[in-house]
């Protein structure tokens, strides 16, 4: 949303520039964040696995997208090598990524090179973002751009944002918004170009924008205009070219994130979750024991075998389902939690799938009873955790 205030400034990206005798136009959130959020929403809606940001600059968009669980490969391309080197480390996994790994693998790579060059490593992508990029091209480079991105890369979806010059009537008309801009298009100019490109390369296109105009100036449209392109016919040669094409870009930075697809991390997460659930049930048992809410019954070996009594008098359907699963129990000073009970917890069930897989993960890490059907811990030893 844009707000007006009587002052001698105007706002585009950062957000204020000095302009005599003009009103302040403030975007909240700032315009660059609105553009990134637009791409983020596209990712959330369409769940692409492979995403590239052409002209990635300081890698801010990649920083946002790396948290999207669906993405397995993130690529940034920029012509400014020093900028890539400076910002690469911001994309590294942090301690939390190791303690709580992603479900899917994620590889992030930054390439130094021109987006007008063909590199086979940019083939086969689901989404390519070109945010505030094309206005930096001269006429010759702009003519090359569609053939490289739409024709060669041919991703399933392309999002292109560029300044809307219709909005510039609210700014000084004598200058572009950035000194490096070679042009700024009106909505009609952008849409004419976009429709021609889409028709030539078998894409459909939808137009939208971010940065709404202030009240009373709705006719100028949004400050940033956006085209979202969809591939109509799927490319058939991408997989072949990906393995046999040229590598033109230079790798500046690459990193891989821990994930549950990696056995060591998966085993570590499963073990942690199992201990957490066993500890939670053991503490509940100990509280019940102190409150004399236990019912003893004889075990086959003569030792008292005690089951944990349900504490809720009114059971939901989920509670009833859990009641059908074997309950934790105690024999002597040992506390047992059946694997069937443990895997009933949603995340463990999702990761392991079945009791056999859970038992495989716990082998040689967690003590099980003699037939391997339950986790076995000391009832009064908190050192297990």
One pLDDT digit (tens) per residue for the chain, 385 residues: 565 543 334 445 545 444 444 566 888 999 999 999 999 999 999 999 999 999 999 999 999 999 999 999 999 999 999 999 999 999 999 998 988 899 999 999 999 999 999 999 999 999 999 999 999 999 999 999 999 999 999 999 999 999 999 988 887 665 767 777 899 999 999 999 999 999 999 999 999 999 999 888 899 999 999 999 999 976 555 544 555 678 999 999 999 999 999 999 999 999 999 999 999 999 888 888 877 644 555 445 555 555 555 454 455 665 555 667 889 999 988 999 999 999 999 999 999 999 999 999 998 889 999 999 999 999 886 554 4
Please, which residues have CB within 8 angstroms of residue 262's CB and are 6 or more apart in sequence? 101, 105
- Does pTM top 0.85 for this prediction? no
CA angle 53, 128, 256 (to 5 degrees): 55
**What gap in Å lies between CA 312 and CA 342, rounded to an integer?**
19
- What pLDDT, on the 0 to 100 scale, is given for residue 25? 80
Residue carrying structure tokens 């908190």: 382
Provide the β-strand partners of residue 307: 295, 329
Within 10 angstroms of residue 286's Cβ, the number of other Cβ atoms is 15
- What pLDDT, on the 0 to 100 scale, is given for residue 287? 85
Within 10 angstroms of residue 182's Cβ, the number of other Cβ atoms is 13
Helix or strand or coil: residue 372? Answer: coil
What's the first-to-final CA gap in the chain, in angstroms?
51
CA angle 327, 331, 334 (to 5 degrees): 95
347-352 long-range Cβ contacts below 8 angstroms, 24+ apart: 347/273, 348/270, 348/273, 348/274, 348/277, 351/260, 351/266, 351/269, 351/270, 351/273, 352/270
- What pLDDT, on the 0 to 100 scale, is given for residue 17? 42
Which two three-digit tokens encode residue 138?
């001269």
Determine the distance from the C-alpha atom of residue 140 to the mean position of all C-alpha atoms in its chain, rounded to a whole number.
35
373 closest CA partner among 331, 345, 342, 350: 342
**What gap in Å lies between CA 299 and CA 336, rounded to an integer?**
14
- What pLDDT, on the 0 to 100 scale, is given for residue 179? 77
User: Is the peptide bond preceding residue 242 cis, with omega within 30 degrees of 0?
Assistant: no
40 closest CA partner among 105, 131, 102: 131
């Amino acid at each position: 949303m844009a707000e007006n205030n009587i002052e001698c400034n105007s706002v585009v990206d950062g957000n204020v520039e000095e302009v005599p005798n003009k009103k302040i136009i403030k975007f909240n959130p700032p315009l660059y964040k609105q553009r990134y959020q637009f791409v983020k929403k596209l990712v959330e809606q369409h769940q692409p696995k492979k995403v590239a940001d052409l002209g990635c600059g300081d890698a801010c968009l990649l920083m946002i997208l790396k948290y999207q669980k669906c993405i397995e490969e993130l690529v940034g391309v920029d012509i400014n090598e020093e900028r890539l080197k400076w910002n690469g480390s911001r994309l590294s996994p942090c301690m939390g990524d190791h303690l709580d790994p992603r479900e899917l693998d994620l590889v992030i790579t930054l390439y130094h090179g021109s987006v007008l060059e063909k590199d086979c490593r940019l083939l086969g992508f689901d989404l390519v973002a070109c945010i505030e990029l094309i206005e930096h091209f001269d006429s010759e480079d702009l003519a090359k751009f569609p053939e490289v991105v739409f024709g060669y890369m041919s991703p399933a979806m392309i999002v292109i944002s560029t300044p809307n010059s219709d909005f510039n009537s609210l700014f000084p008309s004598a200058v572009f918004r950035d000194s490096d801009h070679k042009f700024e298009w009106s909505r009609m100019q952008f849409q004419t170009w976009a429709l021609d490109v889409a028709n030539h390369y078998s894409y459909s296109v939808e137009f939208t924008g971010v940065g709404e105009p202030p009240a009373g100036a709705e006719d100028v449209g949004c400050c940033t205009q956006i085209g979202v392109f969809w591939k109509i016919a799927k490319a058939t040669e991408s997989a072949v070219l990906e393995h046999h094409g040229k590598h033109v870009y230079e790798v500046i930075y690459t990193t891989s994130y821990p994930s549950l697809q990696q056995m060591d991390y998966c085993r570590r997460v499963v073990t942690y979750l199992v201990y957490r659930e066993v500890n939670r049930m053991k503490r509940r048992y100990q509280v019940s024991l102190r409150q004399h809410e236990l019912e003893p019954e004889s075990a086959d070996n003569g030792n008292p075998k005690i089951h944990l009594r349900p504490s809720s008098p009114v059971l939901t359907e989920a509670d009833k389902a859990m009641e059908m699963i074997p309950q934790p129990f105690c024999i002597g000073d040992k506390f047992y939690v059946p694997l069937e009970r443990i895997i009933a917890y949603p995340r463990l069930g999702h990761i392991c799938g079945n009791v056999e897989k859970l038992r495989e993960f716990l082998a040689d890490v967690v003590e099980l009873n003699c037939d391997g059907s339950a986790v076995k811990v000391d009832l009064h030893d908190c050192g297990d955790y």
